[in-house]
Amino acid sequence: MASNNYDVIVIGAGVVGSLVARALSRYKLRILLIEKESDVGAGTTAANSAIVHAGYDPVPGSLKATLNVAGNRLWDALASDLDFAFDRRGDYVVATGEQEIPHLRALVERGRRNGVLGLTIISGDEMRHREPHINPGVSAALFAATGGICDPFAITVAAAENAVMNGVTLLLETAFEEFVIERERIVAVKTTRGTFGCRWAVNAAGLFSDEVMHHAGVRPEFTITPRRGEYLVLDKAEITIETVLFPVPTPVSKGIVVAATTHGNIVIGPTAHEIDDRQDTEVTRIGLEQVWQGTAKLVPGLDRRHVIATFAGLRAAGNARCETPGVDYDHDFVVEIPQNVAGFVNLGGIESPGLTSAPAIAERVVQMLKDAGERLEERPDWNPVRPARPRFRDLSRQEQAQLVRRDPRYGRIVCRCETVMEGEIVAEIHAPIPARTYDALKRRTWLGTGRCQGAFDTPRVVSILARELGLSPLEVTKKGPGSELLVRPTKSGAGMVGRE
């Protein structure tokens, strides 16, 4: 079956898999990107600190250090090509008390060894001047000019869309089951939607990357230990923090961060708890309390009444030994073409700084394929540019007026807190990767993320999704099958008052 055969199958459409698929779409390859969830970027990608790290934190000599610094440099060009929110506004590591200042110097030194540019130590006064709401007890701070913030889902959907625009086939709700291996070569991938032949399979399965590589017979000792991080999101009306504030790190964690988001809120977190269940993204009373206590060290004035959302994400923490001689580090990324099976690109343990590193990982995958003898021929028609669709709230009044004239649906409000119009929602439902669930629309347009958390928009979004997709409202889901929002019509029948 020729139509079921691909040159490359990428397993997992998180930020890494989507960027790998996009990087490979530049070449004359038939590429399939599979994802078990109902949308791209639905796992670890969607729930993290949304920070593009400068690179002073990873252990020098590790793959994490190399790919962090290399990845950080790729973000500007990528944001310009793919038109997603990225803002290199710098980050700070904040020392309180004299005893923490030596830690800053150690970080500067580590950053220099990692090749990070633009690291300076500023005084407590200067820090208080730059972020007036900071703990007045700040003694000094490390400023990293190359740190930034982004919308991690936005880069992922943009990359996946650009891949699809360049011919990649994306199959959602398609879970990896096993490899078909013949003569020590992967020749096909079995999924919940059938078997697909391939010459190369790329493991970008994130939290499940250990299981996938074990199916290929690779690194049987490698395991992912999910480490849950809980977060709180604060309302825009809260005091403003312009950048990213880290405490002085501990041996196990970068600590509780207070960070601006590209959407104008403040996010605080994460905790770090090892758990067994790879899907357990519950938030806990204890975890949220830890976030508050950690936050008080950095910005004591934050007010609990301004919390508008809580969430938790899982870090795909691995146990791979760093392969650089002389570096003693046991939690490095795995980015390799293993020796013991052919046709396999293995990416595993991509935890923080995985988001920052993802563009560099994608480039390295291309290089590894070339090094493995793959003749990659560029497609003359490859288009690296993906324009974002208009966001009503970001436009000038004049542009808004023009947009409504062109398409009156941009004049109808659906989400009042975030000012999302019906036209934006319809555009996302008919985009290169159609948004088919409530959460898919939420992540793309930011509807339902404000103070009312969807109380106003949900009934409206359900009816728009049903209308545009030709579904009954009973079939509309929050995040795919099993998450239907409604259970049956009322006794007097649907649309009693009758609108739309």
Partner 1 sequence: MAKRTVDVAVIGSGPGGLAAAIAAKKEGAGNVLVVERDVEMGGILLQCIHHGFGTEILGADLPGPAYAQRFEQEAISLGVETLLDTMVLDITPTRQIVAASESSGLLEVQARSIVLAMGCRERTRAQITLPGARPAGVYTAGMAQRFVNVEGFVPGRRIVILGSGDIGMIMARRLTFEGAKVARVVEIMPFLSGLMRNYVQCLLDFDIPLQLGHTISRIIGRRRVEAVEVVQVDDQWRPVPGTEEIIPCDTLLLSVGLIPENELSRNVGVALDPVTGGPYVDERFETTMPGIFAAGNVVHVYDLVDWVTEAGYVAGKHAARFAAGDRAGQLDYVRLEAGENVRYVVPHVLTRDQLPGESIKLQMRARQPIEKPVWVELRDGEKRLIRRAERYARPGEMLTLVLPERSYEDVRQAETLTVNVLER
- Active-site residue numbers? 53
Cβ atoms 100, 94 nearer than 8 A: no
- Whose Cβ is closer to partner 1: residue 169's or residue 419's? 419
Q: Minimal CA–CA distance to 480: which of 208, 164, 160, 192?
A: 192
- What are the angstrom distances between the C-alpha of 293 and each of 257, 287, 319? 11, 10, 29
- Give min distance, CB of 408 to partner 1, in A: 4
- Give min distance, CB of 200 to partner 1, in A: 32
- Whose Cβ is closer to partner 1: residue 375's or residue 488's? 488
Please list, in sequence order, all residues whose beta carbon lies within 8 angstroms of the beta carbon of residue 69, skipping any fewer than 6 positions away. Answer: 55, 114, 115, 116
Distance CA 217, CA 263 (A): 43
Q: Which parts of 208-247 interact with partner 1 (CB under 8 A)?
A: 232-233, 237
**Which string of x and - marks every residue 295-324 that binds partner 1 (by CB under 8 A)?**
---------xx-xxxxx-------------
Please list, in sequence order, all residues whose beta carbon lies within 8 angstroms of the beta carbon of residue 340, skipping any fewer than 6 positions away. Answer: 184, 217, 218
Of 54-62, 188-196, 213-221, 474-482, the window that binds partner 1 (rule: CB under 8 A) is: 474-482
Q: Which parts of 413-432 interact with partner 1 (CB under 8 A)?
A: 413, 416-417, 419, 421-422
- Whose Cβ is closer to partner 1: residue 73's or residue 416's? 416
Residue 467 near partner 1 by CB under 8 A? no
Residue 474 near partner 1 by CB under 8 A? yes
Peptide bond into 380 cis (omega under 30): no
Q: Could you give the dihedral angle defined by the CA atoms of residues 244, 248, 253 and 255, in that order, rounded to the nearest 10 degrees?
A: -50
Cβ atoms 163, 34 nearer than 8 A: no
**Which string of x and - marks every residue 395-414 that binds partner 1 (by CB under 8 A)?**
--xx-xx--xx--xxxxxx-
Q: At what angle do helices 422-429 and 457-469 cross, to 10 degrees?
A: 40
- Give min distance, CB of 471 to partner 1, in A: 13
Distance CA 117, CA 144 (A): 8
Cβ atoms 350, 316 nearer than 8 A: yes
- Whose Cβ is closer to partner 1: residue 228's or residue 386's? 228
Give the interface size with partner 1 as a residue count (CB under 8 A).
Answer: 70
Of 156-164, 240-248, 335-343, 486-494, the window that binds partner 1 (rule: CB under 8 A) is: 486-494
Of 149-157, 329-337, 425-433, 489-497, the window that binds partner 1 (rule: CB under 8 A) is: 489-497
Residue 452 near partner 1 by CB under 8 A? yes
Binding residue for partner 1, selected from 252, 276, 328, 499, defined by CB under 8 A: 499
Please list, in sequence order, all residues whose beta carbon lies within 8 angstroms of the beta carbon of residue 246, skipping any fewer than 6 positions away. Answer: 91, 92, 93, 94, 254, 255, 257
Binding residue for partner 1, selected from 329, 456, 461, 465, defined by CB under 8 A: 456
Running DSSP on this structure, what letter comes out for residue 329?
Answer: -
Q: Which parts of 28-67 interact with partner 1 (CB under 8 A)?
A: none
Residue 367 near partner 1 by CB under 8 A? no
Residue 175 near partner 1 by CB under 8 A? no
- Whose Cβ is closer to partner 1: residue 165's or residue 404's? 404
The whole-angstrom distance between residue 429's C-alpha and the CA centroid of its chain comes to 21
Q: Minimal CA–CA distance to 174: which of 162, 188, 190, 160?
A: 190
Residue 263 near partner 1 by CB under 8 A? no
Residue 490 near partner 1 by CB under 8 A? yes
Binding residue for partner 1, selected from 276, 339, 381, 488, defined by CB under 8 A: 488
- What are the angstrom distances between the C-alpha of 371 and each of 68, 166, 228, 375, 379? 22, 24, 36, 9, 19
- Give min distance, CB of 17 to partner 1, in A: 22
Residue 48 token pair:
């993290």
Distance CA 242, CA 225 (A): 33
Residue 66 token pair:
């190399």
Residues that bind partner 1 (CB under 8 A): 232-233, 237, 279-285, 287-288, 304-305, 307-311, 397-398, 400-401, 404-405, 408-413, 416-417, 419, 421-422, 451-456, 458-459, 462-463, 473-474, 477-497, 499
